[in-house]
Amino acid sequence: MNRVVITGYGIYSCIGKNIDAVKESLYHGKSGIVLDALRKEFGYRSGLTGYLEPPYLKELLDRRSRLMLPEQGEYAYLATLEAIKNANLDQDYIDKHDVGILYGNDSSAKPIIDAIDIIREKKNTMFAGSGSVFQSLNSTVTMNLATIFRLKGVNFTLSAACASGSHAIGLGYHFIKTGLQDCIVCGGAQETNIYSMGNFDALSAFSIREDEPTKASRPFDRDRDGLVPSGGGATVILESLESALKRGAPIYGEVIGYGFSSNGGHISNPTVDGPVKAIHMSLKDANVQANEIDYINAHATSTPVGDASEAQALHTVFGDTNAYISSTKSMTGHECWMAGASEIIYSLIMMRDGFVAPNINFENPDEYSAKLNIADKKIDKKIDVFLSNSFGFGGTNSALVVKKYKD
């Protein structure tokens, strides 16, 4: 079996448009959440969202390529551009090797709605334009990035709700571990346009703490009242250790475990047993004990039921081992299809720079979070091994274990 390492990473999120900017936000506990007046005008119950500056791609991509990209594709493109640069990959190498792509994405709302509005008005499908269909498909990110970067390896999209990005990395890990591929672009992307979260808002799952946007996302806190939607793009380059060493690539971490499960129950209500099963599976795959995990990046989205279930699952697995736990969603909001990938990157930054990012807005524990070692402020700490959890609608669970690379 091949060892699987991370040789590049890149990100475009509400707390920073690149790795360096994101590091500063994580270190200082800076929130990227705002109140969007347009959402309120549109009819949202909650106007809270992570804010991302629209990318400017005119100097980076030709018109035809830009025409094919939806919003989340733009974020993913910029994240991938940074990741490829950090991995010291160039187009000549990519052209000569079967580099693949596995990316998490589970919606593309705006292109679909825009096209239907045009067709309904004009009574003529031709007015939708030639780029519309390529923006509208769930596989829009992989088809666009594979075309732009001329990727010739595995190429498909993972659609698993809020675990999409994590499963993409987990599957990439297995493709490389078993020798099917040497190098894969993996990640997740999430749109943030006004159409993207309307039906999610209809579940009354979003925080309505609109008077204090930066305090609205409060995972594990007793007074949490719902999640804050967000988005962006996050990319990691996975590579076999042999390939990475052969080309002298930088190595930022090693993926050593992937666990998954399905709750097999309610379509939206979480369980304790499902996450426990996925976490146990990831630890077994990584051949590490619970007490060897230095940091846990929790899935915790700031919902009353979800956070309580995860807190119970974490206590079941880790007991009194005292691993530091934080949810970076306290700063970013819930990045949904992107979250499983972005949170690997947030954790890699912490491992690289020796700190645990704070779970901001954690002021009063509830009966379950009181049993956990939650970092309510930035902690300077050496991290050798971390766990990242991602759970999604339909009961899909993913857990990834990553360690600092050693020869």
| Residues carrying an active site annotation | 162, 299, 334
Contacts of 398 (CB under 8 A, 6+ apart): 160, 163, 166, 167, 170, 258, 259, 260, 278, 340, 389, 390, 391
Among 91, 259, 87, residue whose Cα is nearest residue 163: 259
Query: Helices in 300-338 by DSSP H: which ranges?
Result: 304-318, 329-332
Burial class of residue 96, CB neighbours in 10 A (0-12, 13-18, 19+): exposed
CA-CA distances (angstroms) from residue 213 to 45, 71, 230, 233, 392? 14, 23, 13, 22, 24
Q: Are strands 253-262 and 396-403 parallel, antiparallel or unpaired?
A: antiparallel
Is residue 105 within 8 Å of residue 337, measured between CB atoms?
yes
Is residue 143 within 8 Å of residue 74, measured between CB atoms?
no
Tallying the residues shown for the chain, one arrives at: 407
d(CA 76, CA 284): 32
Among 200, 187, 164, 287, residue whose Cα is nearest residue 237: 187
CA-CA distances (angstroms) from residue 378 to 106, 318, 356, 374? 33, 21, 6, 11
Helix (H, G, I), strand (E, B) or coil at 121: helix
Among 15, 59, 49, 191, residue whose Cα is nearest residue 112: 191
Residue 395 corresponds to which tokens in the numbers above? 């009961």
